[in-house]
Amino acid sequence: MRRREPERRRRRERGRPRLPLRRSLLGRLLIVSVLVASCAVAATAWLAVQTTSGAIRQEQGQDLSSDAKIYNTLLGYAATHPRWEDVEDTARELARTSQRRIVLTTEDRRPLFDSADASSVVPLPAQASAVVDPLSVDTVLVPDAMTAGSDRIDPRAVGPFLLPANERTELRAITEKQVACLNSVGVAADVVDGPSGRPRIEFVRGDTDRDLEFKCVAQNSGATLTEKKALDELNTLADACLKRQGHKGATLNLDLSWDRGYGQITAAEKQSAEKYPSEKYPAEKKAAAVERGDDRAIASCVGSARREQLTDHVAAPALLFIDGTGAVSVPGFDLSPSNTARIVGVTALVLALTVGVSVIAGARLVRPLHALTGAAQRMRDGLDSAPVPVGPDNEIGRLAAAFNDMAVHRARLEEQRKVMVSDVAHELRTPLSNIRGWLEAAQDGLADPDPAFVSSLLEEAVQLQHIIDDLQDLGAADVGALRLHPEPVYADELLGQVAAAYQGPAETAGVTLSVATPKPGPPGPTLYADPVRLRQAVSNLVSNAVRHTPSGGRVTLRSYRTGPGHGDEVALEVSDTGAGIPADDIPHVFDRFWRAEKSRNRSTGGSGLGLAIVLKLAEAQGGTASVVSTEGKGSVFTLRLPPAPAEAPADATAAEAAAGPDGPDPINMTL
């Protein structure tokens, strides 16, 4: 039969279904590892893309700055030249300094200039980098300082307003006198030439003295003959536009503001009136603000007139293509097939390494768990389980050690269970055998049912009932079903009750039973416990002490407070002068059915459950039970229980006052 057990065990283990991979520890470890690896790869890829994108954006920013410089330079050339024939020198210098390919074509894509060699020319893209048109400036590529306002006309496109040399000299002489006047009165100013050649005053500091400024520039130079001619031409074109739209004509000033007879409004005030209609203006310009519709029409016609006037003085619009490598394209992030394959390969390698390492680590992690599972299953089947190997000091190793401890404890409990069952059977067999024997003898007519016969049967029945009651109390205590009704209990009073109850058996055995209560003295301690269960525990100790104390010996009961340094508990002590307990037997004193008399001689009485019940009753009420014994000198059993609440001393004092000076009245004692 023993040879077949391993085979049966293997069959049972083969019959158990294996856990699916997704629910096993190894599967979950693999999933977590793959997720971690995927997140790591994704994070690395994201970081690489962000870094590359940042570098690309930086390069694009540099390219945009270079493109803006190229565009602005060519825009200035177009604003000051009526044709593109002589742009080659300017464009080639831009291509050399920027290391970019520059291509200029007409709007119908006829080539005007190409800085690339004829051998390396590639087709132009469908969309141009920009359109070079001084009459329609691209405000994205041109800095704000170079824009001409809402009409988007390059300020360098002056056309017929360009002053000849003699007029420039005359105007500059007047302006220099005004600047000298300002400098003499402490106003920092300088002469700056405008795009048309007209000099103007530029103040070095923003805040100036208006009175001094008016004094020095009072003699302002008016429009020159060239400017008057160009302004009259522009005014004629603008009036024609206004007339076509049904508006009154306007007189343009040199700064392109206009006068319609009810006040003058500048271009800046015109824009502010359009943007902020609720703005309040001075009274002399209120009429201009009221007729904002006419102002918009005038501004539109002035812009159209300027474009018509400048058309013959600026170059025609041209398409601009800019590139840095000889092939015109928009910079960006291009992931080639080779780079894609490289990234996929590295990702697959990382995942493979992660899975491989996870499999190795998971196998080493799962192996001891499988050993634990097999040992637990063998234990469930009632088979002997060898100790599980304990690995290094980690969680699995500690789990294996705890399992081995549990297996040893379980084996010990199982052995105790078997011993207890044997003891219970032995204890119950004796009284039942006696009862059955006497009853069979009476039935066969061998014994008469006299009082002695009935007394013997009653004694055996009482012994049987006592064992059953003790087992019932232990079972209730084991499952936590022991009913308790705690209340304040006076320790000396309870000890006196127990001593009085066992005074007769003690005298019969020739043992002196007393309660060590100092008189006179302070009242004894008060504890918080179930008085019935506590009296049962003390009674078991006293009964055990009287039974094991020889004639002429002494059993003493005492109560005292342990003090804050020792747990602040109430101790109930039962000491005797009996034979004592051997040191090797002391750890087993509170075990069930344990008795120092191995022969189970009933001359000493008892079933071996009394001290086990004492321990369970003490623990159920939050206390402990202990023993100190010296072989040949006697034993001391001590119960330690929690004290009564703070209000208990007042009740104790009242009870003692009601009892009188000679101690508690037996009639008033509470059980």
DSSP codes of every residue in 246-287: T----EE-TTS-EE-SS-EE-HHHHHHHHH-TT----GGGHH
Task: Please spell the DSSP secondary structure of 119-159, one letter per residue.
Answer: GG--PPPSS-SEEE-TTS--TTTS-GGG--STT---TT--G
Residue 546 confidence (pLDDT): 92
Q: Which two tokens stand for residue 16?
A: 């158990």
- Spatial neighbors of 616 by CB under 8 A, at least 6 apart, are 473, 474, 477, 478, 482
Look at the block and give the residue holding tokens 């300002």.
Answer: 182
Cα–Cα distance measured from residue 430 to residue 223, given in angstroms and rounded to the nearest whole number? 144
Q: What's the confidence (pLDDT) of residue 665?
A: 35
Alpha-carbon span 498 to 504, nearest angstrom = 11
Specify the DSSP class assigned to residue 643.
B
CB-based contacts of 398, cutoff 8 Å, min separation 6: none
Main-chain phi, psi angles of 611, to 5 degrees: -70, -30
Select from 650, 623, 652, 644 the least CA-distant residue to 524: 652
Distances (CA, A) of 477 to 362, 470, 569, 571, 625: 45, 11, 22, 22, 15
Which helix or strand (DSSP H or E) is residue 636 part of? strand 634-641
The CA dihedral of 194, 197, 203, 204, to the nearest 10 degrees, is 80
DSSP notation for 568-629 = S-EEEEEEE-S----TTTGGGTTSTT--S-TT--TTS---S-HHHHHHHHHHHTT-EEEEEE
Nearest to 549 by CA among 585, 515, 507: 507
In contact, 610 and 633? CB cutoff 8 Å = no
Look up residue 300 and give its amino acid.
S
Span 244-267, pLDDT tens digits: 888 888 888 887 887 754 444 555
Cα–Cα distance list, 461 to 431, 438, 456, 540 (Å):
7, 12, 9, 20
pTM of the complete model: 0.42
Which pLDDT score is estimated for 167? 87
pLDDT at 612: 83
Residue 463 is predicted with a pLDDT of 66
How many whole angstroms separate alpha carbon 39 and alpha carbon 48?
A: 14
pLDDT at res. 84: 92
Cα 401 from Cα 411, distance rounded (Å): 15
Whole-angstrom distance, CA of residue 57 vs CA of residue 331: 9
Q: Which of 451, 521, 452 is nearest to 492 (CA)?
A: 521
301's CB contacts (< 8 A; 6+ apart) are 238, 241, 242, 245, 247
pLDDT at residue 22, rounded to an integer:
61
Taking a C-beta distance cutoff of 8 angstroms, is the pair 171, 191 a contact? no
What tokens were used for 465?
């009932």
Could you tell me how far CA 99 lies from the centroid of its own chain? Answer: 52
User: Cis omega (within 30 of 0) on the bond before 520?
Assistant: yes
H/E element holding 38? helix 25-80
Q: Per-10-residue mean pLDDT for the chain, 671 residues long?
A: 50 56 66 76 74 65 75 89 90 87 89 78 80 86 56 86 89 85 81 86 69 68 84 88 84 78 47 50 46 72 88 90 56 59 78 79 77 80 75 73 82 73 70 79 78 76 73 68 82 91 90 79 78 89 90 93 73 91 86 62 58 86 90 91 64 36 33 24
Report pLDDT for 397.
74
* Interatomic CA distance for residues 446 and 433, integer angstroms: 17
Residue 297: in which H helix or E strand, if any? helix 292-310
Encoded tokens for 25: 């520890």
Using only C-alpha atoms, the chain has a radius of gyration, in whole angstroms, of: 58
Share of the chain above pLDDT 90, in %: 10
